[in-house]
Amino acid sequence: MRAKRYGRCGTWLVLGFLLLLTAPTPPPGPPFLTPTATDTSVPAIGRAWPVGARPTVLRGWEPPATAYGRGHRGVDLAAPPGSPVRAVAPGRVSFAGRVAGKGVVSVELTGTDLRTTYEPVTASVEKGAEVAAGEVVGTVEPTGSHCSTTCVHWGLRRGETYLDPLSLLPPWLLRRGPSRLLPVLDVPLP
Protein backbone atom coordinates (compact mmCIF):
# COMPACT_ATOMS: atom_id res chain seq x y z
CA MET A 1 0.00 0.00 0.00
CA ARG A 2 2.75 2.39 0.97
CA ALA A 3 4.76 1.52 -2.11
CA LYS A 4 1.76 2.37 -4.29
CA ARG A 5 1.29 5.74 -2.57
CA TYR A 6 4.97 6.65 -2.86
CA GLY A 7 4.96 5.56 -6.47
CA ARG A 8 2.06 7.92 -7.27
CA CYS A 9 3.71 10.80 -5.38
CA GLY A 10 6.94 10.24 -7.24
CA THR A 11 5.09 10.25 -10.56
CA TRP A 12 3.42 13.54 -9.71
CA LEU A 13 6.72 15.06 -8.64
CA VAL A 14 8.40 14.03 -11.89
CA LEU A 15 5.49 15.34 -13.96
CA GLY A 16 5.49 18.64 -12.06
CA PHE A 17 9.23 19.02 -12.54
CA LEU A 18 8.96 18.31 -16.29
CA LEU A 19 6.13 20.83 -16.57
CA LEU A 20 8.26 23.42 -14.80
CA LEU A 21 11.18 22.80 -17.15
CA THR A 22 9.08 23.07 -20.30
CA ALA A 23 6.98 26.08 -19.25
CA PRO A 24 7.66 29.22 -21.33
CA THR A 25 9.53 31.95 -19.51
CA PRO A 26 7.92 35.38 -19.37
CA PRO A 27 9.66 38.13 -21.35
CA PRO A 28 11.95 40.30 -19.24
CA GLY A 29 10.27 43.40 -17.86
CA PRO A 30 11.70 46.90 -17.86
CA PRO A 31 14.79 47.31 -15.70
CA PHE A 32 14.26 48.68 -12.22
CA LEU A 33 15.54 52.24 -12.20
CA THR A 34 17.11 53.75 -9.15
CA PRO A 35 18.60 57.16 -8.52
CA THR A 36 22.00 55.61 -9.12
CA ALA A 37 21.23 53.99 -12.47
CA THR A 38 24.13 53.63 -14.89
CA ASP A 39 22.67 55.66 -17.80
CA THR A 40 23.48 59.17 -16.68
CA SER A 41 24.25 60.62 -20.10
CA VAL A 42 22.42 63.89 -20.61
CA PRO A 43 22.52 65.95 -23.81
CA ALA A 44 23.59 69.58 -23.22
CA ILE A 45 20.37 70.98 -24.71
CA GLY A 46 19.81 73.75 -22.18
CA ARG A 47 19.78 77.27 -23.57
CA ALA A 48 19.02 79.32 -20.45
CA TRP A 49 19.44 79.23 -16.70
CA PRO A 50 16.15 78.76 -14.82
CA VAL A 51 16.74 82.01 -12.90
CA GLY A 52 19.01 84.97 -13.61
CA ALA A 53 21.97 85.10 -15.98
CA ARG A 54 24.37 83.06 -13.83
CA PRO A 55 22.78 82.36 -10.42
CA THR A 56 24.69 81.26 -7.36
CA VAL A 57 24.39 77.53 -6.75
CA LEU A 58 23.54 77.32 -3.03
CA ARG A 59 23.60 73.53 -2.94
CA GLY A 60 24.72 71.15 -5.66
CA TRP A 61 23.46 67.79 -6.78
CA GLU A 62 24.32 64.91 -4.43
CA PRO A 63 23.10 61.58 -5.84
CA PRO A 64 21.65 59.21 -3.25
CA ALA A 65 23.28 55.80 -2.83
CA THR A 66 19.90 54.03 -2.91
CA ALA A 67 16.38 54.81 -4.08
CA TYR A 68 15.38 56.11 -0.64
CA GLY A 69 18.81 57.19 0.58
CA ARG A 70 20.01 60.60 1.67
CA GLY A 71 21.13 63.02 -0.97
CA HIS A 72 20.08 66.14 -2.85
CA ARG A 73 18.11 65.31 -5.98
CA GLY A 74 18.68 68.61 -7.78
CA VAL A 75 20.43 71.95 -7.36
CA ASP A 76 19.34 75.01 -5.37
CA LEU A 77 19.75 78.32 -7.20
CA ALA A 78 19.66 81.66 -5.35
CA ALA A 79 16.78 83.84 -6.57
CA PRO A 80 14.80 86.67 -4.96
CA PRO A 81 11.03 86.27 -4.54
CA GLY A 82 9.06 87.21 -7.64
CA SER A 83 11.96 86.50 -10.02
CA PRO A 84 10.95 84.92 -13.33
CA VAL A 85 11.62 81.20 -13.66
CA ARG A 86 12.43 80.08 -17.20
CA ALA A 87 12.40 76.75 -19.03
CA VAL A 88 16.00 75.69 -19.65
CA ALA A 89 15.11 73.89 -22.88
CA PRO A 90 12.05 73.53 -25.13
CA GLY A 91 9.34 71.12 -24.03
CA ARG A 92 5.77 70.53 -22.89
CA VAL A 93 4.51 71.34 -19.40
CA SER A 94 3.58 68.03 -17.77
CA PHE A 95 2.55 69.52 -14.40
CA ALA A 96 1.81 72.99 -13.05
CA GLY A 97 0.29 73.11 -9.59
CA ARG A 98 0.89 72.54 -5.90
CA VAL A 99 2.55 69.58 -4.22
CA ALA A 100 2.79 69.48 -0.42
CA GLY A 101 1.99 73.20 -0.27
CA LYS A 102 4.68 74.21 -2.79
CA GLY A 103 4.19 75.43 -6.33
CA VAL A 104 5.79 73.07 -8.84
CA VAL A 105 6.26 73.23 -12.62
CA SER A 106 7.53 70.19 -14.55
CA VAL A 107 8.55 70.27 -18.22
CA GLU A 108 9.12 67.21 -20.41
CA LEU A 109 11.99 68.16 -22.71
CA THR A 110 11.37 67.85 -26.45
CA GLY A 111 13.07 64.93 -28.22
CA THR A 112 14.30 63.33 -24.98
CA ASP A 113 13.08 61.16 -22.13
CA LEU A 114 14.02 63.87 -19.61
CA ARG A 115 11.87 65.99 -17.30
CA THR A 116 12.91 69.12 -15.41
CA THR A 117 11.18 70.40 -12.29
CA TYR A 118 11.19 73.83 -10.66
CA GLU A 119 9.96 74.63 -7.12
CA PRO A 120 8.69 76.66 -5.24
CA VAL A 121 7.20 78.43 -8.24
CA THR A 122 3.89 80.17 -8.89
CA ALA A 123 3.07 78.80 -12.35
CA SER A 124 2.25 81.13 -15.24
CA VAL A 125 1.72 78.18 -17.63
CA GLU A 126 -0.79 75.35 -17.72
CA LYS A 127 -0.37 71.61 -18.16
CA GLY A 128 0.05 70.76 -21.84
CA ALA A 129 1.51 74.13 -22.86
CA GLU A 130 4.49 74.10 -25.23
CA VAL A 131 7.37 76.22 -23.94
CA ALA A 132 10.53 77.46 -25.64
CA ALA A 133 13.96 77.61 -24.05
CA GLY A 134 14.12 80.76 -21.93
CA GLU A 135 10.33 81.17 -21.79
CA VAL A 136 8.94 82.18 -18.39
CA VAL A 137 7.02 79.32 -16.72
CA GLY A 138 6.40 81.07 -13.38
CA THR A 139 7.83 83.22 -10.59
CA VAL A 140 9.76 82.36 -7.44
CA GLU A 141 7.48 82.04 -4.41
CA PRO A 142 8.59 83.90 -1.26
CA THR A 143 8.06 80.83 0.96
CA GLY A 144 8.19 77.07 0.69
CA SER A 145 11.89 76.77 -0.06
CA HIS A 146 14.11 74.40 1.87
CA CYS A 147 17.04 76.84 1.57
CA SER A 148 18.09 79.30 4.26
CA THR A 149 17.36 82.09 1.76
CA THR A 150 14.89 82.24 -1.13
CA CYS A 151 15.89 79.81 -3.86
CA VAL A 152 14.60 77.63 -6.67
CA HIS A 153 15.13 73.89 -6.47
CA TRP A 154 15.83 72.67 -10.01
CA GLY A 155 15.60 68.94 -10.63
CA LEU A 156 16.11 66.58 -13.57
CA ARG A 157 14.79 63.04 -14.02
CA ARG A 158 14.85 60.27 -16.56
CA GLY A 159 12.01 57.97 -15.55
CA GLU A 160 12.57 57.42 -11.84
CA THR A 161 16.28 58.24 -12.04
CA TYR A 162 17.49 61.58 -10.71
CA LEU A 163 20.26 63.28 -12.69
CA ASP A 164 22.39 66.40 -12.30
CA PRO A 165 20.40 69.27 -13.88
CA LEU A 166 23.59 71.28 -14.48
CA SER A 167 24.55 68.64 -17.07
CA LEU A 168 21.79 70.06 -19.32
CA LEU A 169 23.74 73.29 -19.72
CA PRO A 170 26.51 73.54 -22.32
CA PRO A 171 29.98 74.65 -21.13
CA TRP A 172 29.62 78.15 -22.59
CA LEU A 173 26.55 78.70 -20.41
CA LEU A 174 28.25 77.26 -17.34
CA ARG A 175 31.38 79.36 -17.98
CA ARG A 176 33.61 76.41 -17.34
CA GLY A 177 37.21 77.25 -18.16
CA PRO A 178 38.66 80.20 -20.04
CA SER A 179 37.78 81.11 -23.61
CA ARG A 180 40.34 80.05 -26.20
CA LEU A 181 41.08 81.77 -29.46
CA LEU A 182 41.53 79.47 -32.42
CA PRO A 183 43.86 80.31 -35.31
CA VAL A 184 42.23 81.94 -38.32
CA LEU A 185 43.30 80.18 -41.49
CA ASP A 186 43.54 81.68 -44.99
CA VAL A 187 43.15 85.25 -43.79
CA PRO A 188 45.90 87.69 -44.84
CA LEU A 189 47.62 89.65 -42.11
CA PRO A 190 46.90 93.42 -42.09
Residue 178 in this model has a pLDDT that exceeds 70: no
pLDDT value, residue 33: 33
Percent of the chain at pLDDT > 90 equals 53
Q: DSSP string spanning the chain?
A: -HHHHHHHHHHHHHHHHHHHHHSPPPPP-PPPP-TT-S---------S-SSSSS--EEE--B--SSTTSS-BSSEEEE--TT-EEE-SS-EEEEEEEEETTEEEEEEEETTSSEEEEEESEEESS-TT-EE-TT-EEEEE-SS--SSSS-EEEEEEEETTEEE-GGGGS-HHHHT-S---PPPPPS----
Residue 27 in this model has a pLDDT that exceeds 50: no
pTM (2 d.p.): 0.70
Q: How confident is the model at residue 29 (pLDDT cuts 50, 70, 90)?
A: very low
Q: How confident is the model at residue 30 (pLDDT cuts 50, 70, 90)?
A: very low
* Amino acid in the structure at residue 70: R
Residue 40 in this model has a pLDDT that exceeds 90: no
Tens digit of pLDDT for each residue in 123-163? 999 999 999 999 999 999 998 778 888 999 999 999 988 99
For residue 76, CA distances in Å to 79, 82, 153 come to: 9, 16, 4
Residue 4 in this model has a pLDDT that exceeds 80: no
Residue 9 in this model has a pLDDT that exceeds 60: no
